[in-house]
């Protein structure tokens, strides 16, 4: 057959199917699942002490989700700069530690249903944020070191140093 003699092409109309409501819901759930970030741990540390979260030092104010269960923060007092310019430990505050709980949104034994239930919990109650406020207690007055305590025989040691300098 020559190219001029071909029969005309038939147009076949295929009916367009519109997505059902279930299909829209499935697409929406897929988008929400992909955007799920999980809870955050916010560390409120206004005085910028050294903070350790579960044994690791951190300076971050917000930590992304790591795991459900019990966590612990430990804090040591921030050093300060003395009048002579050197860095000194702050003996007016005591190191502190505290635990906090990150509860699971649904029980894990509901295995096939736990993910949809977590999504439902996220949609209804929003994203959970756990707050850890770092406050160090003050050292008791009787436990503070005295500023006028001098090392024993300091005067004798200073005299020996002066004599050694003279002999050079």
Q: Note whether residue 26 is domain-resident.
A: no
List, for the chain, all residue ranges whose pLDDT scores fall below the cut of 50. Answer: none
Cβ atoms within 10 Å of 6's Cβ, excluding its own = 8
Q: Note whether residue 1 is domain-resident.
A: no
- What pLDDT does 149 receive? 65
- What pLDDT does 74 receive? 92
Let me know: does 136 contact 75? Beta carbons within 8 Å: yes
- What pLDDT does 31 receive? 64
- What pLDDT does 63 receive? 79
- What pLDDT does 32 receive? 63
pTM of the model: 0.55
**The domain that contains 89 carries what CATH number?**
2.60.40
Q: Note whether residue 29 is domain-resident.
A: no
Q: Note whether residue 128 is domain-resident.
A: yes
Q: Which domain holds residue 111?
A: 37-142
How many domains does one find in the chain?
A: 1
| 159: phi then psi, degrees, rounded to nearest 5 | -65, -40
């Amino acid at each position: 057959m020559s190219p001029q003699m071909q029969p005309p092409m038939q147009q076949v109309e295929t009916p367009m199917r519109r997505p059902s409501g279930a299909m829209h819901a499935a697409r929406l759930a897929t988008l929400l699942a992909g955007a799920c970030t999980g809870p955050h741990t916010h560390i409120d540390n206004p005085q910028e002490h050294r903070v350790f979260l579960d044994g690791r030092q951190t300076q971050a104010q917000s930590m992304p989700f790591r795991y459900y269960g019990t966590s612990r923060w430990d804090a040591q007092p921030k050093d300060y700069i003395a009048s002579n310019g050197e860095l000194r430990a702050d003996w007016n505050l005591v190191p502190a530690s505290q635990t906090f709980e990150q509860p699971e949104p649904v029980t894990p034994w509901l295995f096939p249903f736990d993910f949809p239930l977590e999504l439902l919990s996220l949609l209804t109650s929003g994203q959970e944020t756990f707050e850890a406020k770092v406050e160090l207690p003050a050292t008791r007055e009787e436990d503070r070191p005295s500023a006028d305590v001098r090392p024993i025989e300091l005067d004798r040691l200073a005299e020996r140093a002066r004599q050694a300098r003279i002999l050079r």
